[in-house]
Amino acid sequence: MTCAIVLAGISMPFAGGGCRVSLDEHCAGGYSFFSLGVEEAEAGELRKALTSTLSDLMVDYLENRLVEEMLRTNHCYLDSAERYLVVGQARRLLQQQASGGRGKGRRSRRNDIRRVLGEYLDGHQQLLLEGFLTFRLREHVEDIEELLDRTVDDFLLEREHADFIKLLRHFLETQPPRLDLMHVVIRPEGGFRLMDANHDTVTDRHLERCLTEMTDVEVDAEDLLVSALVTAAPRRVVVHWIPGRHDEGVNTIRRVFSGRIQMCHGCSLCEARVPGGGADAPDRTKSQTDE
């Protein structure tokens, strides 16, 4: 496959020019070696075509192999299905990376490889692709390894979060409903307020004790809100919230209370700014920032 890719890439610049390109492959010591020949072509043209083709090969083909090998070596605890998901996400990130984001985009990586390849081929007649990638492009390999590690970390966090959601849903289903309806007003600046069907602040003693205990430890407002709702176990939840703010916490509530939840963006409670009282949670995010 590699031989065909290289031959096609090298032949294209010389097509129609009367030049014949040959590429022979032989194996030795577990490696594949290619002998390249171009009749009636200048050495500069050959190097230019070769660096262009090989840089594309490294970015489009060898990077993917490198990701798979790193994953098997560094993250062998993942099963085959999990590795498949991580590899797919890592490949997407490699394609999406661009200026302004973390890491280099495909074009930038390709240009870097072309430059290093050109410098190498100016003084060498032989090239071992995998060795070149490992040693001459060490920084490039380290960038890919860093991206893969971030991808695995994100995957594990998402898996842990999904398991946590399942646990909360199981707990919720075993709890008898304490309220028929609970309104959740999420303040734009942070914090929230819980109200019953009459728009009165929830003052349930058990719920207040739960909130008090949790505010004594380092818990962010989103975790505090989810815990309060699971403790109250209402039959229905109406969330009053401005989209674009605290979306992560709202998405968690949606997943836990799937089938019980309604989103509201346009009533008087959606714009409520009610200080203090009952089961209000403090603006812990703001207080931590101020500190």
Tens of pLDDT, residue by residue over 210-255, are 555 545 544 466 777 888 888 888 999 999 887 777 778 888 889 9
Q: What is the pTM of this model?
A: 0.68
- Domain residue spans of the chain: 44-170, 181-290
- What is 181-290's CATH number? 3.30.420
The confidence band for 70, taking pLDDT boundaries of 50, 70 and 90, is: very high
Share of the chain above pLDDT 70, in %: 70
DSSP string computed for the chain: -HHHHHHHHHHHHHTTTT--EEEEEEEETTEEEEEEEETT--HHHHHHHHHHHHHHHIIIIIHHHHHHHHHHHH-TTS-HHHHHHHHHHHHHHHHH--TTSSS--HHHHHHHHHHHHHHHHTT-S---HHHIIIIITHHHHHHHHHHHHHHHHHHHHHHHHHHHHHHHHHHHHHSPPS-SEEEEEE-TTS-EEEE-TTSPBP--HHHHHHHHHHHTS---HHHHHHHHHHHH--SEEEEE--TTSSHHHHHHHHHHTTTTEEEESSSGGGG----S-TTPBP-HHHHHHH-
pLDDT: is 136 or 208 the higher one?
136
Average pLDDT over residues 6-14: 55
